[in-house]
Structure formats: C-alpha cells, structure tokens
Amino acid sequence: MNKEITNFIKDKLPIIPLFGLVLGSGLSSLIDDVKDQKTIPYDEIPNFLQTTVSGHVGEFIFGYIGKIPILCAKGRFHYYEGKTIDEVTSIIKIFKEIGTPNVIITNSAGCVNPQWEIGDIMLISGHLDFTFREKTPQIICGEPMYPQRNLNFVRNIADELNISLREGNYTWTLGPTYETPAEINKIRELGGHAVGMSTLPEIEKAHELGLNCWAFSNFTNMGAGMQNVTLTHGDVLEASTINKDNFKKLIQNIIERYKNEPTSVI
Ligand code: HPA
C-alpha cells in the first residue's frame, strides 16, 4: 500500500481504530449510531481509488461504538469494475497498515438455501470461489481462515440477543451480472449458501495479513431462478435494510464485547 495513502488517513485519525468495518451495498445504516463521526472521502485521499457502483458512496468514516474507535469503509472495490485483486483488497491493506487488528466485512448477497429467507443474516463460516480464475470451486471452511473461537463468539452473542443467525458458505462470483438459474443450482450442489460479487478477496487478504476477521452476508434476494422475479441492483439496495436493526445490534455487540489490547494514540 502506498505510504502516502496510509499516512494521509492516519493523520486524520485521533487514535488507532480497533475495528475496521467494510459496509456492503445498502448497509450504511449499520453505522447510524457511531459517535463523533469524522469523514474522509476517498476522493480527498491522494492517489486512492474511486468507487463506481451505486450504493457505494466512497468514504471512510471514523467514530466510536461505545468507547471503541472504529474505521468504516463505506464503498468498496470489486473485481468486475476492472480493478486488480491488489486494488480490490486495498481497504484491508489500509486497515493493516494503520494498525487496526480486527475487521468485520459485510455484504448484500443472494440466498442459495431454499429454507432461508430474504432479510436473514448469515455468519460466513466457509467459502466457495466460483470465479474459475485459478482452480475449480471447492468449499474452504474451518481453521485457519474461519476460527471456531471467532465463530463461537458471534454465535453466543446472537443467541443472547435473540437474533436469528444463519451460518454457511459464501460464494464469490465475478459478476457484474447476476447468476443464471443453472449457476445457482450448481453453487447449491457444491455447498454454497450465499452468493455475491465481493468479500472473498477481502477475507483472504485479512487472513494473509494476520488480521482478526469476521464476515457476514445480508440476504437481499433469493438466488436467480429460485423465485419468479428478475433481479435488479435497485431491488437489492431496497431489500438490504429489512433486518438492519438486528444486524446493527449484532455488529455493535461484537465490537463492544471483543476483548483486545488497548489501542494507542497515533
Ligand atoms: N448474486 C450476486 N451478487 C448479489 C446477489 C446475487 O443474487 N444479491 C446481492 N448481490
């Protein structure tokens, strides 16, 4: 990561954030309650990338959940925008370089499990790379990328708060078009539960850099062919807020309850 970019961001922060949060499409209400917000628009950061997708504004927001300093990325970069993997994962690299040890990655996704519903929240406990860039798709779950300790931590919080939480494998597709019904059938057959066009490169980068990472899908639609509707990005954005209060509560509790070393002043 370009030092000019990280130094610019660091200079704007009063303290090193303990959590980095990547907000998926339509999920900006997750940070409604963040206090003392300070915005750093991407277009003010020298030589940084710009977002192009509607629903992805393009700014970092620093603030506090309870007493915990966090840095949110509102607007992420996708492979289908013609960006490289290096660029797609730049937000995660920024978190690493400013010294933020924990990340929470969120996305809006299609639901591939017919028993689940639009509005459900899924804790990502495994993944399927359905991009066919390198290898044939195969489920990756469990340690070391999805540590039981982290999964249990979230399961217990959801239980205690009475939030119904799904759990399963996120499937990364290249996009930018939604899948065909045949692709959705194949994804289900291979063991995928959610489908989306982001997140996996970010999870992999966070893991590679030794960041502590949780990731969640928010189901905005059933996978193509599972319902008699045509998917549009507008509908995805509209449906993304159905379960927003529970999603917000869950994220806030993870951030406030996770025990960590105190963060230092920059
Ligand atoms: N497919 C891929 N990406 C998505 C979907 C979907 O059904 N819904 C939201 N993002």
Residue 264, pLDDT > 70, answer no
Bridge-partner residues for 123, per DSSP?
167, 216
Q: What is the mean pLDDT of residues 197-216?
A: 97
Within 10 Å of residue 72's Cβ, how many Cβ atoms? 26
- Asked if residues 131 and 174 have their Cβ atoms less than 8 Å apart, the reply is yes
Among protein residues, the one with the nearest Cα to ligand 1's atom 9 is 109
- Which ligand 1 atom is the nearest neighbour of the CA of 231? 7
DSSP letters of the chain? Answer: --HHHHHHHHHH-SS--SEEEEE-TT-GGGGTT-EEEEEEEGGGSTT-----STT---EEEEEEETTEEEEEEES---GGGT--HHHHTHHHHHHHHHT--EEEEEEEEEE--TTS-TT-EEEEEEEEE-S-SSS---EEESTTTS-HHHHHHHHHHHHHHT--EEEEEEEE---SSPPPHHHHHHHHHHT--EEESSSHHHHHHHHHTT-EEEEEEEEEEEPTTSSSS---HHHHHHHTTTTHHHHHHHHHHHHHH---PPPPP-
Instruction: Kindly give the distance from the C-alpha atom of residue 258 to the centroid of ligand 1, in angstroms, as a whole number.
Output: 30
Give the pLDDT band (50/70/90) at residue 231: confident
Say whether pLDDT at 16 is over 90: yes
Query: Which of 107, 117, 218, 231 has most ligand 1 atoms within 8 Å of CB, for mutation?
Result: 231
Question: Is 108 close to ligand 1, i.e. is its CB under 6 Å away?
Answer: yes
Q: Is the CB of 220 under 6 A from ligand 1?
A: yes
Give yes or no for residue 24 CB within 6 A of ligand 1. no
Mean pLDDT across the stretch 257-264?
67
Alpha-carbon span 89 to 76, nearest angstrom: 9
- Please name the residue that has the structure tokens 């217990």: 156
The chain-wide mean pLDDT, for the chain, equals: 92
- The finding on whether 119 has its CB within 6 A of some atom of ligand 1 is no
Cβ 169 under 6 angstroms from ligand 1? no
Q: Is the pLDDT of residue 266 over 60?
A: no
Query: Mind listing the pLDDT tens digit for each residue in 39-87?
Result: 999 999 998 987 776 656 799 999 999 999 999 999 999 999 999 999 9
From CA 188, how far away is CA 183, in angstroms rounded? 9
Are 9 and 60 in contact by the 8 Å Cβ rule? The answer is yes
The β-bridge relationship of strands 59-65 and 68-74 is: antiparallel
59 within ligand 1 shell (Cβ under 6 A): no
Q: Give the pTM.
A: 0.94
Q: Is the CB of 123 under 6 A from ligand 1?
A: no
Q: Is any ligand 1 atom within 6 A of the Cβ of residue 195?
A: yes
Ligand 1 near 26 CB (within 6 A): no
Write the pLDDT tens digit of every residue in 112-158: 999 999 999 999 999 999 999 988 999 999 999 999 999 999 999 99
Contact 194 CB / ligand 1 (< 6 Å): no
Ligand 1 pocket: which of 179, 227, 242 to mutate (most atoms <8 Å of CB)? 179
| 176-189 residue pLDDT tens | 999 999 999 999 99
Q: Is 197 in the pocket of ligand 1 (CB under 6 A)?
A: yes
Instruction: Tell me the CA–centroid distance for residue 180 and ligand 1, in Å.
Output: 11
Split at pLDDT 50, 70, 90, the class of 263 is low
Closest by Cα among 154, 85, 96 to 124: 154
- The pLDDT score that the predictor gives to residue 200 is 98
